[in-house]
Amino acid sequence: MRAGRLLHVEQLGIGIAQSAAPSDALRRWFHASSEPWEAFRDRYFAELDRRPEAWEPILKAARNGTATLLYAARDQQQNVVALREYLMRQLQLRK
C-alpha cells in the first residue's frame, strides 16, 4: 500500500473555517450524554446562530461554486452532517 503525500492547507489553496466546528463543551456534553443526536444537532445549530461569522464564509463559497466540508470525527453522522444541514437551510432562507 502506498501512502499519500501530505499537503499543507496553503498548498491546496483552500480556506479553513474551524470556528464553525462545535464547541469543545458541546462535543464533551454529547459524548458523555445519552441524549439523541437530534439534541446535539439542535444545540449545535444554536451555537451557529450565535456565530454567523463562523459559517458565512462557507456559505459564500458555496454560492460561488463548490464548498467541500472536511472533518476528523470518528462518527460520520455528527458535526459535518449537522453543519451541512444548517448551511443548506441558510441557503434556502437567504435566496
**Looking at the domain assignment, is residue 1 inside a domain?**
no
The pLDDT averaged over each successive group of 10 residues in the chain (95 residues) is 52 66 90 88 96 90 81 68 91 81
Three-class secondary structure assignment of 53-72: HHHHHHHHHHHCCCCCCCCC
pLDDT of residue 17: 66
- Tell me the residue range of the domain where 39 lies: 18-93
pLDDT of residue 86: 94
Residue 31 lies in a domain: yes
Is residue 6, in this structure, part of any structural domain at all?
Answer: no
Give me the pLDDT at residue 89, please: 93
Based on the structure, what is the number of domains in the chain?
A: 1
Terminal C-alpha separation, the chain: 46
Q: Which pLDDT value is given to residue 10?
A: 60
Question: What pLDDT, on the 0 to 100 scale, is given for residue 33?
Answer: 86
Residue 37's H or E segment, with its range, is helix 37-50
Domain assignment of residue 2, yes or no: no
Q: According to the model, what pLDDT value does residue 11 have?
A: 58
